[in-house]
Amino acid sequence: MENWRFFRKRAPNAVVAAVVKADAYGLGAVAASRALAKAGARTFFTATVGEALLVRKALGEGPQIFVLNGPSVEDVADFAAAALTPILNSMAQIQMWAGRGPAGLHIDTGMNRLGVGPEELAPAMTALKGAALDLVMSHLACGADVKHEMNAVQLKRFADAATLFPKAPLSLAATAGALIGPDYHFDLIRPGVGLYGSGGLDADNPALAAAATIEAPILQVRDVNAGETFGYGATFAAPKKMRTATVAMGYADGYLRALGGRGYGVLGGAKRPILGRISMDLIIIDVTGCAEAQPGARVEFLGPGAPLDEVAALAGTASYEILTTFAGTVRKTGVRG
């Protein structure tokens, strides 16, 4: 995985873990975990126990798998059975896990989502009774905006809280945090979306390798006269004589309807604008003057020619949503090693 190695170079003194939650952001947790392990990743994060059990099966014994959402009464036994390491996010989880083995601890430094707050740190330490902590972590609320003042505030809070745990490895940064700079790296970074081709920043993303390609075949090619309209709502009229292609891709496949009239497909090495609205299973693109436009030819909607961060910006959403909305479609296309 080229992108895992990108983070390896960015953070040469930190462990580069791999976040594979949400089925590796829709790419398929089994294939992605194997590709990442092959590249050298030895530490993985999932959101849930169910995901972690799949990843354990895919990778076998050895790699450490942290479960970000932590244990619940129902699944606490699964952790031991598959040698999973919970991240403890609350006093209740700390008490539930007491005496069961190594864990990670999530400290909230300003996101107010998961984690024990600063005022809970003293009771948390008492409840942990000296149990081994394999990780002490927190999560940035505003990492996507590298200049946001909240980043430095959270960095300071985390560094202060971490002094209570002098032996534990520390982790603050996900993809965006890892890009802010080395102050944010600590002992371990936790990139997710960066592994799958997005810098995770609001602007000025680094060019990461496309980890998934979404393509669909042309079903029909049509010659259309000036003034004719396309698709539902007849929202686009041909300004001149045009050649168009109807492609077997739609919002039911995960191609967001918001990209109607804004997105593009790539064919013959060029971007071919989407004309009018996107249907459930069909998209119309402008292929005027494109010799490659023949029934059966494959049009790329996400991949090296249609970068994830660019598609996300055109759709007015985050790269995370583009990937997870494509989910099953991405899996059909596969993960690059």
Ligand X SMILES: *Cc1c(COP(=O)(O)O)cnc(C)c1O
Active-site residues: which are they? 21, 232
Instruction: State in angstroms the smallest separation of the CB of 163 from ligand X.
Output: 21
Chain position whose Cβ is nearest to ligand X: 192
Helices 49-59 and 29-39 sit at what angle, rounded to 10 degrees? 50
What's 275's DSSP letter?
P
Extract the tokens encoding 270. Answer: 């060029």
Cβ of residue 212: shortest distance to ligand X, in angstroms?
14
CB nearer ligand X, residue 155 or residue 174? 174
Residues that bind ligand X (CB under 6 A): 19, 21, 68, 139, 174-176, 190-194, 200
CB of 216 to ligand X, least distance (A): 26
- Residue 154 CA to residue 185 CA, distance in Å, equals 13
In the bound state with ligand X, the residue whose beta carbon lies nearer, of 197 and 265, is 197
DSSP letter string over 184-234? Answer: GTTTEE--SGGGGT----SS----PPP---EEEEEEEEEEE-TT-EETGGG
Type and span of the H or E element at 114: none
Q: CB neighbours of 175 closer than 8 A, spacing ≥ 6?
A: 143, 191, 192, 193, 194, 195, 198, 199, 200
Closest residue by Cα to residue 196 from 287, 274, 309: 309
**Least gap, CB of 149 to ligand X (angstroms):** 20
Nearer to ligand X, 191 or 307 (CB): 191
Q: How far is the CB of 47 from ligand X (least distance, A)?
A: 7
Asked whether 205 and 187 are in contact (CB, 8 A), the reply is no
Q: Are strands 298-302 and 214-224 parallel, antiparallel or unpaired?
A: antiparallel
The radius of gyration computed from the CA coordinates of the chain, to the nearest angstrom, equals: 23
Distance from C-alpha of 287 to C-alpha of 231, rounded to nearest angstrom: 16
Smallest separation (angstroms) from ligand X to the CB of 17? 9
Asked if 259 and 314 count as a contact pair (C-beta separation under 8 A), the reply is: yes
Nearer to ligand X, 195 or 275 (CB): 195
Closer CB to ligand X, residue 106 or residue 331? 106
Closest separation between CB of residue 217 and ligand X, Å? 31
Q: Which residue has the tokens 């979306």?
A: 193
- 242 or 311: CB nearest ligand X: 311
If the CB atoms of residues 319 and 333 are measured against ligand X, the closer one turns out to be 319
Residues 6+ apart with CB under 8 A from 269: 305
What is the rounded end-to-end Cα distance, in angstroms, of the chain?
A: 5
